[in-house]
Amino acid sequence: MFDCIISLTTWSGRINNPDVCKVLYSIIRQKTKYKYKIVLVLSEVEFPTHEIPELVQLLIEGGNIEVIWTPDNLKAYKKYYYTRQKYPDAIIITTDDDILLTQDAIEKMMDFYQQHKGCICAQHTHKFENSSEIVAGWFRLYPPNTMLDVDKIFFEKCFNSIEDDVYNAILASLKHTKTVQTPFIVAKELTGSLQDCAFRKVYAKTNPHDAKKRLMYALNVAEII
């Protein structure tokens, strides 16, 4: 049994960067009273033969990391979507493959959540422009049943599989879930060569405002809202 899951993803354009190993190690070496499970979600579109760098494989085996292989490529969103599909009742903390965590990151986030039960908690938040949604970023804790449960096709078709944080914020708002920002900083973004192969630099951008309009229309047509 575990108290929470730490989930992240990476992709073929970044996994060979040695900083990804630093990110994984920062998750493995957490000092906390909470029992946590690490999940790495990878796309078979990116890794058709399931081959990954040897050092990453050693960290997976040594750190007892579960790898979830997905048949499609939801890009950054897959770390949440497929982990939630497999563990519907779990507290899921998502982080990124360019984020280094302090050793007390899980401890602080879970302690903070005890004071904000039922809320999404994040190190960074910002209000989605001209709307009521609060977008959670970087190091985010998602309790179960706090977002509207819809099929991944809405993200694929309406958001072009981009802007997953905004998408999650909309689904949380539709579920009337509050998002709160932590008063502490436990996650630091790595710079340098890791940022040269970021999702946002490789894939075409999606206008989140237009995407939200498409999503709300589609959910209405499907009579989900």
Which structural domains are found in the chain, ordered by start?
4-221 (3.90.550)
Cβ atoms of 5 and 11 closer than 8 Å: no
Q: What percentage of the chain reaches a pLDDT higher than 90?
A: 86
Which pLDDT belongs to residue 114?
Answer: 98
> Does residue 130 have a pLDDT over 90?
no
For 168-224, the pLDDT digits (tens) are: 999 999 999 999 999 999 999 998 766 555 555 555 567 888 999 999 999 999 999
For 33-77, the pLDDT digits (tens) are: 999 999 999 999 999 999 999 999 999 999 999 999 999 999 999
111: tokens are 């302690």
Cβ atoms of 154 and 170 closer than 8 Å: no
Cβ atoms of 87 and 117 closer than 8 Å: no
Which pLDDT belongs to residue 207?
Answer: 86
Start-end of H helices in the chain = 18-28, 54-62, 78-86, 105-114, 153-159, 164-174, 199-202, 208-221
